[in-house]
Amino acid sequence: MKDTDIRRLLYAHLLCIFSVILSTFIPSLFLEDFSVLETHLTWLCICSVSVTAVNLVFYLVVKPNPPSRRSSLSHKVGRFLKCCIYFLMSCFCFHVIFVLYGAPLIELALETFLFAVILSTFTTVPCLCLLGPNIKAWLRVFSRNGVTSIWENSLQITTISSFVGSWLGAFPIPLDWERPWQVWPISCTLGATFGYVAGLAVSPLWIYWNRKQLTYKNN
């Protein structure tokens, strides 16, 4: 049971990593002079869309969480709309936090917002897919000892690693190397992406390594 779960998790994560990698290479076939650094905003949009799509497809197909009892169409639509609103809210929240962290308020607002979008894609979208629009469940998962399945455990790891990645990504900005990737918000988005990918890669391994110690209350 457990090993098959871990294997499924691993495949899912590989798929996500693959989508991130593809989003850097595929567009250059269709778009002229596309590169991650120079047309950064385009890349951000493409990466965000592809990661969201993969997440959605995957969770619709695999359904790691138990299906809810009520499954009327209106309920589903309401749930979907709620998810959308949550996603937008998280984007705005991140934007506000970035500004509070010192991002410029007026200039580069689009860049900042797209950074917020990509960070939401890496963190909020998986949460929404797995846990649904349920703040209590989110808080439970992200407090200590609150996880109840390996899915939630991996969600915790990837989310935290994305945050840490974007946090660390801010460090090179003040250095005077004058590299193109030191411009706001490129280093942060790259940091978030690397953090996300690292989280995706590490979490199945970590769970596999600690599978003896991990006991979840509900299964």
Partner 1 sequence: MRLGAGTFAACCVAIEVLGVAIFLRGFFPAPVRSSSTTEHRAESPAPEPSAGASSNWTKLPPPLFGKVVIMLIDALRDDFVFGSKGVKFMPYVTYLVERGASHSFVAEAKPPTVTMPRIKALMTGSIPGFVDVIRNLNSPVLLEDNVLRQAKAAGKRVIFYGDETWVKLFPKHFVEYDGTTSFFVSDYTEVDNNVTRHLEKVLKREDWDLLILHYLGLDHIGHLSGPNSPLIGQKLSEMDGVLMKIHMALLSKEKEALLPSLLVLCGDHGMSETGSHGASSTEEVNTALVLISSAFERKPVGDRRHPKRVQQTDLAATLAIGLGLPIPRNNVGRLLFPVVEGKPVREQLRFLHLNTVQLSKLLQGNVPLYEKDPGFEQFKMSERLHGNWIKRYLEENSSEVLLNLGSKVLRQYLDALQTLSLSLSRQVVQYDMYSMAVGATLVLEVLALLLLSIPKALSPAAELDVPLSSPLFSLLFYLTILVLSAIHVVVCTSTESTCYFCSMPWLAAGGAMLLMSALLCAIVSALTKTVVSAKRVGKNPAPPSVRWSELDLLILLGTMGHILSLGASSFIEEEHQTWYFLVSTLCLALCQEVCRNHFLGSDGDPQCGLREEPGPEGAMLTMQDGAEGCAALEEDRTRAAASAFERLGSMEQRMVLASPWAVLCCCRLLRALNQTGVQGAHRPDLGHWLTSSDHKAALSVLAALSLLAVFLLVQRRCSPMSKVALALGLLGVYCYRAAIGNVMSPWQRGNNDISKGIVEARFVYVFVFGILFTGTKDLLRSQVAAIAIKARTVGLWEIYSGLVLLAALLLRPHNLPVLVSSLLVQTLMAKFVWKPLNHGVAEVTVMHYWFGQAFFYFQGNSNNIATVDVSAGFVGLERYVEVPAVFLTAFATYVGPVLWASHLVNYLSSESSSHSALRHACFCYALICSIPVSAYIILVTSLRYHLFIWSVFSPKLLYEGMHLFVTAAICVFFTAMDQTRLTKP
- Under the criterion CB under 8 A, does residue 101 sit at the interface with partner 1? yes
Sequence-distant (6+) residues with CB within 8 A of 185 are: 98, 103, 108, 111, 112, 114, 115
Please identify, using beta-carbon distances, which residue of 61 and 105 lies nearer to partner 1: 105
Applying CB under 8 A, the span of 8-16, 44-52, 78-86, 210-218 interacting with partner 1 comes to: 210-218
DSSP 55-75: HHHHHHHH--SPPPS---HHH
Q: Which two tokens stand for residue 31?
A: 């778009």
Q: Min. distance of Cβ 101 from partner 1 in angstroms?
A: 5
| H helices present in the chain, as ranges | 2-25, 27-30, 40-62, 73-101, 109-131, 135-142, 150-169, 186-209
Contact segment (CB under 8 A) with partner 1 among 50-58, 66-74, 140-148, 188-196 equals 140-148
Minimum Å gap between C-beta 44 and partner 1 is 23
Which tokens go with 89?
Answer: 């809210």
Nearer to partner 1, 4 or 215 (CB): 215
Between 80 and 101, CB nearer to partner 1 = 101
Enumerate binding residues for partner 1 (CB under 8 A): 97, 99-102, 105, 135-136, 139-140, 143-146, 167, 170, 173-176, 210, 213-215, 217
